[in-house]
Amino acid sequence: MLGIVYKGIDFSLLFTMLDKRVNSNIKERIDLINRFICLFGKQVIESVVADREFVRDQ
């Protein structure tokens, strides 16, 4: 899931349904960010915040 924060409120924006019971892998996470960039562009990204599992390669 990818969300945005606007004026302190988080809005879920994009997600991917997985056909598995485990967490997403690094490729799936990169694909989700690339979907966001294709829709809205890089220029709208002020910062990226993620939990520790986001950067872990699976």
Q: What is the pLDDT of residue 48?
A: 85
Q: What is the pLDDT of residue 24?
A: 80
Whether 13 contacts 2, CB under 8 Å: yes
Q: What is the pLDDT along the chain (58 residues), one digit of tens a residue?
A: 888 888 999 999 998 888 888 778 888 888 999 999 999 999 998 888 877 766 665 5
Whether 57 contacts 26, CB under 8 Å: yes
Q: What is the pLDDT of residue 56?
A: 61
Instruction: Tell me, rounded to whole angstroms, the distance of Cα 51 from its chain centroid.
Output: 11
Q: What is the pLDDT of residue 39?
A: 95
